[in-house]
Structure 1
Amino acid sequence: MIQFRDRGARGRHQGAQIDAHHSFSFADYNDPKHMGFRALRVLNEDRVVPGAGLPEHGHGDMEIVTIVLKGAVEHRDNLGNSAVVRAGEVQRMSAGTGIRHSERNPSADERTHLLQIWIIPAETGGPPTYEQRSFADDGERNRWITIASGDGRDGSLTLRQDAAMAIARLDEGITINRELDPARGYWVQVIAGIVGLNGTEMREGDGAAITSEEEISFEADTDAEVLLIDLP
């Protein structure tokens, strides 16, 4: 079964500094029908104006993955990490017993575009940790690239959950398939372009929850990028 989530149906916070779309209930957006999907709790698409961001704030017991699509994010936390996460890079924070951090767009003239994803961990507690890695190789096209997983396979970031995230950057006209475990759940998010998911058109910002399926197929109607989240 595939349940589509239209980009225009998402919650939205449009402020002077951040324009955010929420696939699931978040902050002031509260929709009892969209509180998450399995262990996936938050999927936000944010655009941040130059120099803006969020001051220091705290998280606990959450796996927080940030995928920078355009521009950069300057990160600082109370673990002593200070880094700039650039387009093509992915950041993972395991909040564990508690982490405090700030994030801002360091550019003077370019908006930052990012996805931020929260996964509920398999167990609460544990020390907070931080990882960052680039997955920006333009040669890695028309195949699935694992960017985060519970076992850190294929050089991916490590999650404290039996979950995995993979992206596929597709050339126009390419069809790519993915075998699925019918006992698990999968979330699809179109990052860019237009694709057909098992024949149904999806565009940038569209999402879909997938259950009880053995295989899915993506056909790229344009150059496109797709995120697939595999969940217990």
Structure 2
Amino acid sequence: MIVLLPRVLPAKLSFLFAVLKGVLTRKGSLVLVPALWMILTGFASAHSFTAALLVVGADREANLAEAVRGFLLAADEKDGHANETSDGHLGGVDVQVLPLPYDATGLVVGLVGTPDEPADVVIVLGSEPAASEAAREFRSASTVLLQAVLPEGWDRDDGTDGFVARYRLAYGTVPGVMAATAYHAARRLDVAIRPLDGVVPQAALEDSWRATETGLPW
């Protein structure tokens, strides 16, 4: 019997699948293997999501690379564990990062995850009206969250010194406004997701996202 199992499981679930598959095989219940795979991949999907970062405006390549660095810094601050197969964690959930647009990804580095398409969440980083115009393409398939670029002087706000120091330690340079904007967006998403343990229901996520627009510490 040939069983096609296309989805890649995280390391711990792959080990569990191998053990249970051996048990089922010895008991002559190989027909149950696909069902077991579906259950485990469903569990993995429920505790993992893809976040697309869509940068709009000028200097997209440089800004997208910087945005990814800022986002990854936030995603690496909590809930880490051994044998990572994602790009970090937000709200206690594995996050896979998908940089967009595709033609601006030439400078992006540091991603190790396996993002799905369409993304579960698309975070649009940019100014209006360009941000809302770009968001229209994704609203039918993803939850779209708009993050305005932080204003000039963001680095003089209380608490930003810690972020700047962590960014400099991680990347050897000071963060620009797009790195700070993406870091802030990731922190907002972390707070929005945590009580939901995921990115659904969509309406609840959108409400939680809006509630983090101001007052979020660095």
- TM-score band by shorter chain is under 0.3
Normalized against structure 1, the TM-score is what? Answer: 0.25
Larger CA Rg, structure 1 vs 2: 2
**Larger strand proportion of the pair:** 1
**Larger helix proportion of the pair:** 2
